[in-house]
């Protein structure tokens, strides 16, 4: 395989990786992509600190070597000025990186501006050294160092990398041509630039692909966690989900909140399934679930399907005088759906029975659940399509 065939295949592979990464990004929420972009900017800025310290030490040694070199005083002055500029850049970059990363809120825009400005200024400083090396000693060592450092350290996008490497190659080749490098020497400059550009893309794509893969795994885990807490038929919380969500809500708001459980059961649902079939039974469950979801008062209240035709509505900080109206409103909303009942033993339309129980946080979920379930049982025995509040039976308007 020739070098150019190898080069073509390598670039093709990297394009494929990039396309796959871009396709994977479309499956991620916008807020997660924004977070990844922020993390990428933070990584770039964090890497500036050790890099700046290393370059600072190298430049001190470099100036010591140049001071003893047999070159003209003018060249010594030029090296010294370039070295002072490089040292100032390293100190400034490290100081700004520390300031940005220790701020109460890390701003993505400031981080991106810092590392972009740093790499442009670093490249320009290094290009001065490249020109000095070519002019005074006909060497291109600094050019190779510049390209490899630029490829290995910053996680630059394709556009950013193209312009940086393009600037490096254009300046170095121009200076080399002016000072009469041989064709063999000149050929090395664009080849090393292409190599560095490929290395930059490989590192960036590997990092980005890894980030996207981890983000997709996080999204998948979130979906699995949601499925574990959600009833797949109705989209309501299941028993585990309502219990965990209620615990989280109460822990965030402290003790003393009033908690009301409304146990809701579809009357004669087995007869409904027997007459209309299980598919229509699922439709009935979904419509009742949608009604319960619409009846909750706000984001703190919860609606859940506990199992079969049984549901639970949790009211948070609901005044005692509003519990019965809330339960009756829920019962009436289901009746207003106008779903044909399997039998008119209770009503010609599908109805629900409701049992309630109340307590002050902290609560024992199982105890309050059993109290509400007991009240529901009383509502069933009282003829269904009614609400039991404590020991009080309220049939409302049937």
pLDDT digits (tens, 9 = 90+) for 140-167: 888 888 888 888 887 888 888 888 888 8
Report the alpha-carbon distance of residue 302 to residue 139 in Å, rounded: 73
Report the alpha-carbon distance of residue 261 to residue 358 in Å, rounded: 6
- Cis upstream peptide for 362 (omega within 30°): yes
Could you give phi then psi for residue 358, rounded to 5 degrees? -130, 155
Q: Where exactly does CATH 3.30.70.270 map onto the chain?
A: 239-394
Q: What is the pLDDT of residue 352?
A: 93
pTM comes to: 0.58
Q: What is the pLDDT of residue 193?
A: 84
The side-by-side arrangement of strands in the sheet containing 310-316 is 302-307, 310-316, 258-266, 352-360, 387-389, 392-394
Residues in the chain, pLDDT under 50: none
- Contact status, residue 255 vs residue 268, Cβ threshold 8 Å: no
Report the alpha-carbon distance of residue 220 to residue 27 in Å, rounded: 11
Report the alpha-carbon distance of residue 168 to residue 159 in Å, rounded: 14
| Distant-in-sequence contacts of 391-396, Cβ < 8 A, 24+ apart | 394/324, 394/328, 396/328, 396/331, 396/332
Q: What is the pLDDT of residue 265?
A: 94
Burial class (CB in 10 A: 0-12, 13-18, 19+), 247: middle
- Which residues are within 8 A (CB) of 314 and not within 5 positions of it... i.e. 6 or more apart? 242, 246, 259, 260, 261, 262, 301, 302, 303, 304
Q: What is the pLDDT of residue 292?
A: 92
Q: What is the pLDDT of residue 181?
A: 80
Burial class (CB in 10 A: 0-12, 13-18, 19+), 72: exposed
The two beta strands, 352-360 and 387-389, are: parallel
Identify the CA nearest to 146 among candidates 170, 122, 163.
122
Q: What is the pLDDT of residue 369?
A: 92
Report the alpha-carbon distance of residue 312 to residue 169 in Å, rounded: 69
CATH topology of domain 239-394: Alpha-Beta Plaits (3.30.70)
Report the alpha-carbon distance of residue 316 to residue 92 in Å, rounded: 54
Q: What is the pLDDT of residue 86?
A: 93
């Amino acid at each position: 395989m020739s070098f150019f065939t190898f080069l073509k295949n390598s670039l093709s592979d990297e394009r494929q990786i990039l396309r796959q990464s871009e396709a994977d990004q479309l499956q991620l929420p916008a807020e997660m992509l924004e977070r990844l972009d922020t993390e990428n900017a933070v990584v770039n800025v964090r890497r500036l600190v050790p890099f700046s310290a290393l370059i600072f030490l190298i430049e001190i040694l470099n100036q010591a070597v140049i001071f003893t070199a047999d070159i003209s005083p003018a060249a010594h002055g030029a090296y010294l000025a370039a070295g002072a500029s490089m040292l100032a850049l390293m100190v400034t970059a490290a100081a700004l990186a520390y300031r940005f990363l220790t701020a109460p809120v890390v701003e993505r825009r400031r981080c991106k501006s810092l590392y972009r400005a740093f790499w442009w200024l670093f490249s320009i400083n290094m290009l001065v050294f490249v020109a000095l090396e070519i002019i005074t000693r006909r060497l291109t060592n600094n050019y190779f160092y510049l390209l490899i450092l630029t490829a290995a350290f910053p996680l630059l996008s394709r556009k950013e990398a193209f312009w940086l490497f393009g600037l490096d190659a254009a300046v170095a080749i121009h200076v080399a041509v002016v000072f009469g490098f041989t064709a063999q020497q000149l050929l090395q400059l664009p080849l090393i630039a292409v190599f560095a550009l490929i290395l930059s893309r490989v590192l960036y794509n590997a990092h980005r692909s890894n980030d996207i893969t981890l983000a997709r795994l996080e999204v998948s885990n979130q979906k699995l966690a949601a499925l574990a807490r959600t009833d797949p038929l109705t989209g309501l919380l299941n028993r585990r989900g309502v219990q965990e969500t209620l615990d989280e809500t109460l822990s965030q708001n402290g003790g003393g909140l009033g908690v009301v459980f409304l146990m809701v059961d579809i009357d004669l649902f087995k007869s409904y399934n027997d007459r209309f079939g299980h598919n229509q039974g699922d439709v009935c469950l979904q419509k009742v679930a949608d009604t319960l979801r619409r009846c909750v008062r706000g984001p703190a209240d919860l609606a859940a399907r506990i199992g079969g035709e049984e549901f639970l509505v949790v009211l948070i900080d609901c005044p005692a005088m509003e519990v019965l109206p809330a339960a009756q409103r829920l019962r009436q909303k289901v009746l207003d759906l106008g779903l044909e009942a399997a039998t008119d033993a209770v009503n010609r339309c599908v109805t629900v029975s409701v049992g309630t129980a109340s307590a002050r946080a902290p609560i024992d979920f199982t105890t309050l659940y059993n109290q509400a379930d007991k009240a529901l049982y009383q509502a069933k025995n009282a003829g269904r399509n009614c609400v039991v509040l404590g020991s009080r039976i309220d049939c409302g308007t049937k």
